[in-house]
Structure 1
Amino acid sequence: GAPLVVCSNGADAGADEARESSTARDTRIVGCGRARAGQSVRIVHPESGIVCPDGQEGEIWVEGPSVAQGYWENEEASNATFQAA
């Protein structure tokens, strides 16, 4: 199904609070679920690879045994698909 999308306005909402809103100043937030056991999830700057501070946009990097199955020891496929370091 479609991802959950909520809006948040830091000036009006409390810490860790999200609510539906239609004002232009609100930030749209898309949920992506929780990490599975054995996985590590980080939000990083796409060019530097440095973990982003809270509230900053970045790429979602997921690490774990279930990530990218089929690419292990397949350098050609890995290089064609993945660019992150």
Structure 2
Amino acid sequence: MIARSTGGILVLICIVILAGCGGSNFADLETYTAEVDARPSTPIEPLPPFEQVQPFAYQAGGKRQPFESPVLVRKVGRQQGV
């Protein structure tokens, strides 16, 4: 019951706010729009041609990946005994 009345109040508040935003005094906006529409349109310049890029084959497939942390390799000496 409370949620229903709260929802109704919120809808009523939204309607009042939107009604306050309305009005029919848009003469200056309509004048500006008519002014812009009356201007002659200029053609849009075409895009420049794309230069062809040579394909590149990456040859270091077996090496360490450039964005991974390097692995620390330690040299282990021979153990005495056995």
**TM-score normalised according to structure 2 size:** 0.20
- Give the number of the structure with larger relative contact order, counting CA–CA contacts within 8 Å between residues 6 or more apart: 1
Q: Which has the higher strand share?
A: 1
Larger relative helix fraction: 2
Look at both structures and tell me which one has the larger radius of gyration over its CA atoms: 2
TM-score, normalised on structure 1? 0.19
